Amino acid sequence: MADTLLVVRDLSMRFGGLLAVNGVSLTVDERQIVSVIGPNGAGKTTVFNCISGFYTPTEGEVVFQGKAMHKLPGHKIAREGMVRTFQNIRLFKEMTVLENLLVAQHMHAERNLLKGLLLTKNFRIKEQELVERAAFWLERVGLLDFANREAGTLAYGQQRRLEIARCMVTQPKLLMLDEPAAGLNPKETAELNALIRELCHQHQVSVLLIEHDMKLVMDISDQIVVINQGAPLATGTPEEIQRNPDVIKAYLGEE
């Protein structure tokens, strides 16, 4: 049986009088794809923000590889191996595609370590490693030919793939994708589907996904967590979720 990577227990997040997330729990095992679904405003992104350290949850625990994360800032959580993309693409649009991946690796590395490496011959070796890793992931996401293009000039679907590459160069254990298929055409969504599977099955990365594209979610997920109005509604396999009457009523029935 696969080891458990992430455990989220009884997570709640309050914004003033609004309880945006109310007692959500989920687990992600190694090499597992878990999706979080729910109607607009259900609290999915807030759950992501709590897990990835953008918010400190009002209540609950986030334990990643046995370590408590819920009081750590986002950059420390990322260094533990849990990285994310955002609903709105956040690339350095005026930098080249390659530079985006190099900066991501520099930002991810311990600053003290980098300082120590500067001016030493190890620095050059290290830089070479970063470029090679960037090239590897650009190739995997089909952007190697675009390495020297400004990121902002890429087509939308390419920018989405670059965001994933930017996460992958930091060698995460868990990749969190917030609506990665938003704005993609069916061909690009099919490519995304294949890429996520490849990350999971060939590169041993677990994936936690927020997604509105039900076809993608049902096709790709090992487990699905359904949230409604901030509260947990159901957890199960795609088959279990598709025939769960509460889910059909609260969510799928709306489609």
Ligand X SMILES: Nc1ncnc2c1ncn2[C@@H]1O[C@H](COP(=O)(O)OP(=O)(O)OP(=O)(O)O)[C@@H](O)[C@H]1O
Tokens of 72: 């750590």
For residues 15 and 123, which CB has a smaller minimum distance to ligand X in the complex? 15
Among 2, 10, 15, 185, binds ligand X (CB under 6 A): 15
| 40 near ligand X, rule: CB under 6 A | yes
Closest distance between ligand X and the C-beta of residue 146, in Å?
29
Query: 3-state class of 151 per DSSP?
Result: helix
| 38 near ligand X, rule: CB under 6 A | yes
Of 13-21, 67-75, 122-130, 194-202, the segment contacting ligand X by CB under 6 A is 13-21
Closest Cα to residue 193, out of 205, 203, 204, 180? 180
Closest distance between ligand X and the C-beta of residue 42, in Å?
4
Of 35-43, 124-132, 180-188, 231-239, the segment contacting ligand X by CB under 6 A is 35-43
Phi, psi (degrees; rounded to nearest 5) at 64: -120, 125
| Whole-Å CA distances, 130 to 40, 110, 137, 163, 172 | 39, 14, 11, 16, 15
In 16-58 the beta strands, taken as DSSP E runs, fall at 18-29, 33-37
| 42 near ligand X, rule: CB under 6 A | yes
Among 5, 28, 31, 44, binds ligand X (CB under 6 A): 44
Closest Cα to residue 206, out of 82, 109, 47, 101? 82
Alpha-carbon span 158 to 164, nearest angstrom: 10
Among 26, 28, 43, 104, binds ligand X (CB under 6 A): 43
- What residues line the site for ligand X (CB under 6 A)? 15, 18, 20, 38, 40-46
